[in-house]
Amino acid sequence: MALPACAAAAPQPEIPVRGATPGFTCRSQGLERFVGRAATAELGAEMRRASGAKTVRWVPPGSMITMEYREDRLTVRVDAGNRVIAANCG
């Protein structure tokens, strides 16, 4: 099957560089205000908006996580009671 020579190529999406999502850069400033709060989907959305991150990664106690840095990701550590104990970008 031959394609017409004048057919326009579909625009290609921008490919993220090293796991980064264009337009999203996490900022850690001010995240300490969330420490002690119960980890919920609503809190995760609030923290994502406050930090500018694209995604939130919840880390319960004893969990193993990858160590690669992602400038578009917020990492939130929680305790056994599902309360936020720390939050940082990466």
| Nearest Cα to Cα of residue 51 among 86, 89, 90 | 89
3 in any annotated domain: no
In this structure, what CATH number is given to the domain that contains residue 70?
A: 3.30.10.10
Query: Which class for 25: exposed (0-12), middle (13-18), buried (19 or more C-beta within 10 A)?
Result: middle
Which alpha helices (H) appear in the chain, and where do they start and end?
Answer: 41-51
CA distance 21 to 18: 9
What pLDDT, in 10s, does the model give residues 27-69? 999 999 999 999 999 999 999 999 999 999 999 999 999 888 8
- The average confidence (pLDDT) of the chain is 85
How many distinct structural domains can be found in the chain? 1
pTM of the model: 0.74
What is the residue range of 56's domain?
31-89
67 in any annotated domain: yes
10 in any annotated domain: no
Q: How is residue 23 written in tokens?
A: 């337009």
